[in-house]
Amino acid sequence: MIDLQLAAAEVFMVCAICVVLLVDVWLPDERRLLTFRLALLSLVGAAVCSAYYLPNGSVTAFSESFVTDPASAVMKIFAYLIVGLVFIYSRDFLMRAGLFKGEFFILALFALLGIMVMLSAHSMLTMYLGLELLALSQYALVAFDRDSPIAAESAMKYFVLGAIASGTLLYGISFIYGVTGTIQLGAIAAHFSQPGAITVPALLGLAFIIVGVAFKFGAVPFHMWLPDVYQGSSTPVTLFIGSVPKIAAFALAWRILSESLGDMHGSWQTMLAVLCVLSLVIGNIVAIAQSNIKRMLAYSTISHVGFIFMGFIAGTEDGLQAAMFYTLVYTLMAAAAFGMVILLSRSGFDAENLDDFKGLNARSPWFAFVMLMVMFSMAGVPPFVGFYAKLVVLGSVLDAGLIWLAITGVLLAVIGAFYYLRVVWFMYFVDPVDDSPLDAALDFRVVISANGLGLLALGLFPGVLLDLCARVIG
Amino acid sequence: MEGIYLTIVLCPLAASIVAGLFGRQIGRAGAHSITIAAVAVSFLLSAYVLKAIAVDGAATYNAAVYRWAAVGALTMEVGFLVDHLTALMMTVVTFVSLCVHVYTIGYMHDDDGYQRFFSYISLFTFAMLMLVMSNNFLQLFFGWEAVGVVSYLLIGFWYKRDTAIFANMKAFLVNRVGDFGFLLGIAALLMYTGSLDYVQVFGHAERLSGESIEIVSGMQWSALTVACICLFVGAMGKSAQMPLHVWLPDSMEGPTPISALIHAATMVTAGIFMVARMSPLFEHSVTALSVVIVIGATTAFLTGLLGLVQNDIKRVVAYSTLSQLGYMTVALGASAYAAGIFHLATHAFFKALLFLAAGSVIIALHHEQDMRNMGGLRKYMPITYWTSLIGSLALIGFPGFSGFFSKDILIEAVHASTTPGAHFAYWCVLIGVFVTALYSFRMFFLVFHGEERIDPHVKSHLHESPWVVTVPLIALAIPSIVIGWLTVGPVLFGGFFDEAIFVLEEHDVVGELGAEFHGSLAFVTHAFVASPALYLAAAGVLVAWFLYMYRPGLPGQISEKIDVIHRLLVNKYYFDWFNENVLARGTRCLGGGLSRFGDQMVIDGGIVNGSARVVALLSIVVRNLQSGYLYHYAFAMIIGLAALIGWLVVEL
């Protein structure tokens, strides 16, 4: 296959974004739905490209700075799916809020393109390019509701902190380049596999790179941006930021830490373990004190990041598969959770507080049940898929002999169960604060129901996704 | 044969399910027809099996019919072991059950729970058959618990009566104590032999007697003795031996037919049967045998005395049952298992007869049970009178009656036994004969003779019970007279139980007696010259006549004279008082204390809510780290980076 075929999905996405951009410019406001439809269509097209131009095994392109392999293809397709969910959940909310602009879709697609590039990166520079494309799009997305001062504040915070993290990452990359003389990931891995290659400058570079990775994930203590950004953005943007970019973060850790710096596992294992425990503790404990659902979900994200890290900490193939499984499952859960927050919002009213979930069962038993599935899955209650996600990562650290870490994880998952179950308690056992019926478009209802039921179905048949992860990665 | 065994067991079960679940559809007649038909089939087939084994000499059947589960090397199966012992038990159980089924038609005639009752007693027959036919400990335990459950259901059959609910709760709880021991015994055997199958476990008996177990540190006990005593604790619960006997008198709250079937003839003898079945184990532990004989003798004597002061007709019979169970247990302890089982069989007939006769009296008097309101019933109820007389004579051991043979041999066997404690047991059972005769005829005279103390209103339409009641009485009276005479030779001394029961050479007291046995007639005549028991029984009857017929005022004066003893007996040696005030109240105080202190304060208050409060507090503190200031956030990141690099430096 020629290089362009290997990058077919990315090439297609760039073209599609240009088309959407041009079409959107000429559209009058009342026909803006066309932008929405074209955006969805471009996702479908990209999915076709990814699936069609799929090589057997891992094939590099563009002078070994780009790689296409089954694992990246699977994760790209998953990313298209989640972005599709984001678009469908967001449409009516944006319309009601007067934010139904082409920019939302275009920025989101650019961010997606960044994620795709990161997933396929095979050199430090490609990785950095993808990362910056994603990050810049996200800064703009956060500030998208430009009349909202809190959104502007969040965007500013996110931008400044993101710039620090990017700089740190780039600094680390320069160290690695200085030590190895290459930015190509395969060559870096080859260099460090030699005995005695792990020198002090290399370790210094590693520490800076880990800061970049941790910031992208939102691991403690590089998590500060996360609650403020989640809360400050309008809910569709939070929905986007809260779900898909976790796949990018996974790509960053996977490509750089596992693949190219895998031989330094002994050095970064402990660093990640410390970040992991801190994330579990801070995420789960502070979530309890939150009354804002978006902030609560932000801290919940931080705690889930701790679990994703466990897979990397194990440092085994099983661990990597477990981390991938957890990441994919997490994006599905996060999409459903923020989708429910959007569902509860109406024109001129953002459902932001936990109180808005009170008595949901009386207002809509079915959607209360969907939320229940999402919360149970996040808490890790069988038979929902969140349980298996936790099970496989805990299993991988146990296999690696880190019993103390597994015990910490379980204990904090128990504490974490409290705030998920509190939502369930609010929905079922507390009287509603306001009892107006929920209104949402049919496609929204169908998709979010499928999203919730998917968590149950994957929990009943976890083998489907687990086998897929095991086949494509490692 | 497997088909026959399955039919015997499953017929009552099927009938019970039909009568229980579809009782409304099939009606009263349908319920009793189907259950009686099923039990009749079981009885006929059991009789056939008994004939095939005892007369035609069919081989012992021992096989699994269904494998329930296999865990490692342990297999759990449903299987049957049918030998002489089993066949005898099956026949006795199904025969008495059949009689009781028929009798119930009359006794429960006006009761709303008619179909339910038939369903229960059929279910009981199934459970009891599973118990006696089992070839492994698991199924034995199943049958053991199943008869316990049905007993519980039937004692509380009139569930609107508080006393019935109290009684069935008591029976259930007391049996839990016994069953716990039983389960421990089974577990001990499983631990040491790795099997639940009788034959395999028995094969290890000799080895086990050499092994020792340390339960309290520093004390070495024989593993076999521990296992046997645990099993016997189970038997003490089910067969109501002291001090676990307290539930049996109260179980008389249930309808009379089940008092006859479950609490006299069959279920309560399950313990006796079980110990006899486990004879290969008990034989190797003299300590266990000694425990058995002492407990049995104490029960036989002390509970007999209690029968003297009861006024409720059913309770007299209940205490008599307790006392007779003690006799059987004594026989087991003396290694005279065959004598114990023989007494079990004869007792099943005459005790069921006495209960059903008592029930007949109770129906005739419109559910009056107090003997002080009876008297002179002889002329109103001739059939009940004569059958009661037969039952009483059999019970006291009148020469020639079935009880005579079983009890006389039992006493002789204890006399000959070398088990430690046998000497004490001998005197207990010997004096017990006098006591038995005294309370039996006290009851007999009070009910059927003397002045009529009946309520005049009841007396106006007093008459003999209907045929469904009297036919079972007659059916049970016949074996009560003849069964001993006919079977004592072949069953006890003809090697009947040779395969089923194992007796060590040096313990074989029945064998010794057999050397002097020259036919039933010779045995009877010999008893007149050799046995003090006969004269003691006669003395008991005479004293009863003197006290309750000739000088009816005397008993009252005597009880005033020996007020202390009388009060002790009326209060049943204060066992109930002790259980209720010390054990029950103590347990509840302990439970309440642990609940308040341990659960509510330490666990709920300290550990559960305490940790939750700590977490909540922590979360409020930690959330303040999120100040909202950008430079704080950036600072945190730099600190983090510095920490990571610092870590590297430390590690290098």
Of A157, A210, A227, the CB nearest to B644: A210
Residues of B in CB contact (< 8 Å) with A are 612, 615-616, 618-620, 622-623, 626, 628, 630, 632-634, 636-637, 639-641, 644-645, 647-648, 651-652
Mean pLDDT of A63-78: 94
Q: How far is A273 from chain B (nearest CA, A)?
A: 12
Q: For residues B565-590, give the mean pLDDT.
A: 84
Mean pLDDT of A423-433: 91
Residue B81's H or E segment, with its range, is strand B74-82
Average pLDDT, chain A: 93
Rounded Cα distance, A140 and A154, in Å: 11
pLDDT band (50, 70, 90) for residue A366: very high
Q: What is the pLDDT of residues A186-231, one digit of tens each?
A: 999 999 999 988 899 999 999 999 999 999 999 989 999 999 999 9
Reported as a pLDDT band with limits 50, 70 and 90, residue B558 is: confident
A208 in B contact zone (CB under 8 Å): yes
- How many beta-carbon pairs below 8 A join chains A and B? 75
Confidence of residue B563 (pLDDT cuts 50, 70, 90): confident
Q: What is the ipTM score, two decimals?
A: 0.90
Query: Which of A175, A225, A288, A291 to probe by mutation at the B interface, max B CB count within 10 Å?
Result: A288
Confidence band, pLDDT 50/70/90 cuts, at residue A474: low
Burial class (CB in 10 A: 0-12, 13-18, 19+), A105: buried
Which of the four pLDDT bands, split at 50, 70 and 90, describes residue A89?
A: very high
Report pLDDT for B61.
Answer: 86
What integer pLDDT is reported at residue A465 of this predicted model?
93
Of residues B490 and A340, more confidence is placed in A340
**Residues of A with Cβ-Cβ distance to B644 under 8 angstroms:** 207, 210-211, 271
Residue A348, pLDDT score? 61
Mean pLDDT across A152-173: 95
pLDDT exceeds 90 at position B113: no
pLDDT for res B403: 84
| Predicted pLDDT of residue A203 | 92
Pick the most confident of A342-351, A405-414, B271-280: A405-414
Task: Report the chain B residue with the minimal C-alpha distance to residue A270.
Answer: B647
Question: A200 to chain B: which residues are within 8 Å by CB?
Answer: 652
**Mean pLDDT lowest for which of A82-91, B215-224, B407-416, B426-435?**
B215-224
Instruction: Work out the mean pLDDT of chain B and round it to a whole number.
Output: 85
Query: Do residue B640 and residue A214 have CB atoms under 8 angstroms apart?
Result: yes
- Give me the residues of A, 261-320, that contact B with CB < 8 A: 267, 270-271, 274, 282, 285-290
Q: pLDDT value at position A188?
A: 95
Across the range A395-406, mean pLDDT stands at: 93
What is the CB-side half-sphere exposure of residue B53 using CA atoms within 13 A? Answer: 28
How many domains are contained in chain A?
1
Please name the member of B637, B639, B644 whose beta carbon is closest to the beta carbon of A164.
Answer: B637
Residue B128 has pLDDT above 70, yes or no: yes
Residue B460 has pLDDT above 80, yes or no: no
A456-468: average pLDDT:
93
Range of the domain at A179: 2-473
Task: Give me the pLDDT at residue A135, please.
Answer: 96
Q: What is the pLDDT of residue A409?
A: 95
Q: Which residue has the tokens 């009877």?
A: B524
When mean pLDDT is compared over A290-304, B245-259, B493-507, the highest value belongs to: A290-304
Average pLDDT over residues B267-289: 88
Q: Which residues fall within 8 angstroms of residue A385, CB to CB, at 6 or more apart?
A: A329, A332, A333, A377, A455, A456, A458, A459, A462, A465
- Picking from B132, B100, B123, the residue whose alpha carbon sits closest to that of residue B270 is B132
Q: Check pLDDT > 70 for residue A3.
A: yes
B38, B79, B265, B303 from B94: Cα distances, Å? 10, 19, 11, 28
Nearest-by-Cβ selection for A415 from B615, B620, B634 = B615
User: How many beta carbons lie within 10 A of that of residue B37, not counting itself?
Assistant: 13
Rounded to 5 degrees, what angle do the CA atoms A446, A451, A455 make?
A: 140
Overall average pLDDT of the A89-108 stretch: 92
Q: What is the DSSP string of A406-427?
A: HHHHHHHHHHHHHHHHHHHHHH
Task: Check residue B491 and give its pLDDT.
Answer: 77
Question: Radius of gyration of chain B from Cα atoms?
Answer: 30
What does the pLDDT average to over A133-146? 94
Residues in chain B: 652
Of the partner residues A200, A207, A225, the one whose CB lies closest to the CB of residue B633 = A225
Rounded mean pLDDT, B341-367: 86
- Annotate A388-410 with DSSP letters as a single string: HHHHHHHHHHHHTT-HHHHHHHH
φ and ψ at residue B213, rounded to 5 degrees: -130, 145
By three-state DSSP, how is residue A32 classified? Answer: coil
Judged by average pLDDT, the poorest of A121-125, B349-353, B462-466, B534-538 is B462-466
At B348-358, the pLDDT tens digits run 888 888 888 88
B616 with A267: Cβ contact below 8 A: no
Tokens representing A433 are 């604060």
Probe site for chain A from B614, B617, B622, B630 (most A CB atoms < 10 A): B630
Amino acid sitting at position A449: S
How far is residue A387's CA from residue A374's CA, in Å, rounded to a whole number?
11
Asked whether residue A128 carries a pLDDT value surpassing 90, the answer given is yes
A163 reaches B (C-beta below 8 A): no
What string of DSSP letters covers B568-637? HHHTGGGHHHHIIIIIIHHHHHHHHHIIIIIIIIIIIIIIIHHHHHHHHHHHHHHHTT----HHHHHHHH
Separation of alpha carbons B141 and B361, rounded Å: 37
- Is A156 at the interface with chain B, CB within 8 A? yes
Task: Tell if the CB–CB gap between B626 and A286 is shorter than 8 Å.
Answer: yes
Burial class (CB in 10 A: 0-12, 13-18, 19+), B33: middle
Q: Which residue has the higher pLDDT, A132 or B617?
A: A132
- Residue from B83, B98, B92 nearest B38 by CA: B98
pLDDT at B335: 86
Residue A458 has pLDDT above 70, yes or no: yes
Q: How far apart are CA A117 and CA B246, in angstroms?
A: 83
Rounded to two decimals, the pTM is: 0.64
Query: pLDDT value at position B341?
Result: 87
Structure confidence by residue, pLDDT tens digits, A71-80: 999 999 999 9
pLDDT of residue A347: 58
Question: Cβ contact (<8 Å) for A274 and B623?
Answer: no
Q: Do B623 and A200 touch (CB under 8 A)?
A: no
Pairwise CB contact (< 8 Å): A168 & B616:
no
